[in-house]
Chain A
Amino acid sequence: MNSGPEKTTVGLFVTCLVDLMRPSVGFAAVKLMEDAGCVVEVPAAQTCCGQPAFNSGDRGNARVIAMQVIAAFEAYDHVVAPSGSCAGMLKLHYPELLADDPGWSARAEAFAAKVHELTSFLVDVLGVQAVSADYGETVTYHDSCSGLRELGVRDQPRLLLDSVEGLSLTEMENADVCCGFGGLFCVKYSDISNAIVAKKTDKIAATGATTLLAGDLGCLMNMAGKLSREGRTVAVRHVAEVLAGMADETPIGGERKAKG
């Protein structure tokens, strides 16, 4: 399958977690989209999508952040985030937040129409069917909630993973069940979150997979943190890193090798 139209410009909404915690995911996203023929840019005027405010009932600040993001990204053909959760925020909740604002509602709708989660953008918009990468491990894939239920991301990452040389996917039981992250939930209701993620790591371990993949860094950090606390040796990575052939990076929460 050929790549999308030439000179499609993409504004990468890198997400705060990728920006701060795991930049390699951002570079993997850029590579995947550039390989598919896109011109990728990263507006400097981005911070966070505003979910912490929105989900804490602080609509006022969530609205201001939404306007800031829309203004920074609306000139691009597409806006792509390596996260179902943040993409869902931009795509579904920005229009909801700004629905009553006559100056912004139409802008928010137009902006939302251009927003995509990374793997869904590659497959559904660009028509990518395969990537050129190899990863000789058995992986299991966790469906993050927002991507799955708000944006319908399920088959796209699996389709692309299927094309990775040497990779075999073993599905875990309840792959579509929440990992217990939930943003601030995991620190506010730490004990409950722990009970949920402990069930998840059991399911992950039961697959015998050596690598856990998902499309949202929040969920990945939560599961990686629990796996490592439990002394399990499963490597945890964002799916984009494997698809981009950039899996030489130390896994999330993994011990660092000395690097030059």
Chain B
Amino acid sequence: MGVEITSPNFKANAREALDDNSLQKALGLTVEKGFIKKRRLAADALPEFEALRDAARDIKNHTLDHLDLYIEAFEKKVVENGGHVHFAEDAAAARQIALDICRKAGARTVTKGKSMITEEVGLNDFLQENGIVPIETDLGEYIIQLRGEHPSHIIAPAIHVNKAQVEAEFRRVHTALPPDRDLREPESLLAEARGILRDRFLAADVGVTGANFCVAETGTTIIVTNEGNGDLTQTLPRVHVVFASIEKIVPTLEDASQILRVLARSATGQDMSVYTTFSTGPKRPEDPDGPEEFHVILLDNGRSALLGTPFQEMLRCIRCGACMNHCPVYQAIGGHAYGWVYPGPIGSVLTPAVIGIEQSMHLPSASTFCGRCEGVCPMRIPLPKLMRLWRDKAHDEKVVPTAQRFGLGLWVLLARRPKLYHLAMSVGMPLLAAFAGSRGRFRSLPFAGGWTRHRDLPAPQGRTFQQQWRARRFGR
């Protein structure tokens, strides 16, 4: 149950992604030319941006160190305001809690705001199997739900889908609309989705959203959107269910405001997203609108095990997507290749924590450690360091392939014995140079297929530096 895991097939997934022209075009346009530039402009325009990153990091560190107490404070406030807090140890528990709430509400349809946590627990499939229709309302999420896919980016879920594909999907599904309608422009696609989803919002019995933050001071959950779908999702139905993982807690409204200042700038380059909504409990007696019930499902799903370990830093993540936008690997292959819910550097650290390193060893391994992710992470998460820690674990648990262990072992054997090393190399390198001849490079070489499949291997110059240096020194 839950999202299908294809992380073990990472290499094959990646090859498929590399051959997908439409994906490649989208990644170049959206990520490389779009998000990166927008983030840089927004960060450069705010002199306090780096200081805010420090402040945001410190707030989360403090919160995580006192997480049990802040969760209790949050819970107390939610209850005071007439809401309910449910604790879920794992995905199955979270799904069941949500289903029970829906059943109690007699729900037939559930509208959903964008929520990676509900992706993580596989909520949609579960509700569907139990006779309840979940409807994604974020435009991108709606598109991929129609296509039977999962998000390929945490803030731009349909980044891999092009306009023509959206049109085809809408024509396939929206059969009540005139077949000769013009859907060539993005505007008309948006208008059609808006019309269809507006009816769904008004008809839904339960609205499910995620939470960007949970504020302990007031028992408030916060969502950040640009479309307004999250607000319609949580304002119109009779019941509002919030899915949040335990690390979403922040102490105060001031703390949330600090982190909000780096969130949108890092994600889309906006100074602030269009709608930042602070929800506190169900509707009050004097309120003319709003949900009658307010439920928060706090999900652990492996996160508590990261506390008190070096991976605790990972729990600062606010899901802005900057790490994947700036990752050369993500830029090359997109999100689906990673094979689970969270792609990019953040996925490469989080995924092993949830599904286990045996299944996900490729993810932390497939990084050049270029460090660009850490350079832009608003929460200053040392992503390369954490990926390396997963490699340590994979090495210790011997899930590394034999050939790799053997090759590395041989290299280490030499590297640890300088005399033997220099002897071997002073024989080997001149031979290799001679073998290359005047061409100066190899187009293919035994045992170097990984290199020469796509590029030539420059040949060594001949005698090693150490050889020549010693010769010169003795000559002097």
Contact = CB atoms under 8 A, between A and B. Distances in A.
Q: Do chains A and B touch in the complex (CB under 8 A)?
A: yes
Interface of A: 14, 16, 18-24, 26-27, 42, 44-48, 50, 52-59, 61, 64-65, 68, 145-146, 149-150, 176-178, 180-197, 221-222, 224-226, 228-229, 249-250, 252-258
Given A26-B469, A27-B465, A44 B450 contact: no
Given A44-B422, A45-B418, A222-B455, A57 B14 contact: no
Interface of B: 11, 14-15, 18, 328-329, 331-333, 365-372, 374-375, 388, 390-396, 400, 404, 408, 411-412, 414-418, 421-422, 425, 429, 437-441, 443, 448, 450-466, 468-470
Nearest to A201: B455
Contact of A57 (B18, B393, B450): B393
Contact of B441 (A185, A197, A228): A228
Contacts of A197: 454-455
A-B interface, 8 closest residue pairs, ranked by CB to CB distance from nearest: A182-B368, A57-B395, A187-B450, A253-B458, A225-B455, A23-B465, A57-B391, A194-B454
A48 B404 CA distance: 18
Nearest to A174: B32
Given A56-B391, A58-B408, A189-B14, A258 B460 contact: no
Contact of B328 (A177, A226, A256): A177
Contacts of B367: 182, 185
A32 to B, nearest CB: 15
Q: Chain B interface secondary structure, helix, strand, loop or mixed?
A: helix
7 contacts: A50-B415, A56-B404, A188-B366, A222-B455, A225-B456, A225-B457, A253-B440
Contact of B365 (A23, A181, A188, A254): A188
B427 to A, nearest CB: 12
A185 B366 contact: yes
Q: Which of B374, B418, B448 has the most CB of A within 10 A?
A: B418
Contacts of B457: 221, 225, 253
A46 B418 contact: yes
B466 to A, nearest CB: 6
Contact of A250 (B412, B440, B455): B440
A26 B465 contact: yes
Q: Which of A47, A226, A258 has the most CB of B within 10 A?
A: A47
Given A45-B418, A55-B388, A185-B367, A191 B412 contact: no
B466 A68 contact: no
A48 B415 CA distance: 6
B464 A20 contact: yes
A254 B418 contact: no
B451 A258 contact: no
A44 B391 CA distance: 31
Nearest to B418: A45
Given A61-B412, A254-B440, A191 B14 contact: yes
Given A47-B415, A229-B454, A177 B438 contact: no
A56 B372 contact: no
Contacts of B390: 57
B169 to A, nearest CB: 28
B375 A189 contact: no
B470 A145 contact: no
Nearest to A16: B415
A68 B375 contact: no
A192 B329 contact: yes
A203 B129 CA distance: 50
A150 to B, nearest CB: 7
Given A145-B372, A178-B372, A57 B396 contact: yes
Contact of A182 (B369, B408, B460): B369
B453 A190 contact: yes
Q: Which of B365, B455, B463 has the most CB of A within 10 A?
A: B455
Contacts of A185: 365-369
A55 B411 CA distance: 13
A59 B365 CA distance: 15
A15 to B, nearest CB: 9
A47 B421 contact: yes
A19 B421 CA distance: 11
A196 B465 contact: no
Contacts of B459: 253
B387 to A, nearest CB: 9
A118 B270 CA distance: 40
A253 B441 contact: yes
Nearest to A195: B332
A197 B453 CA distance: 13
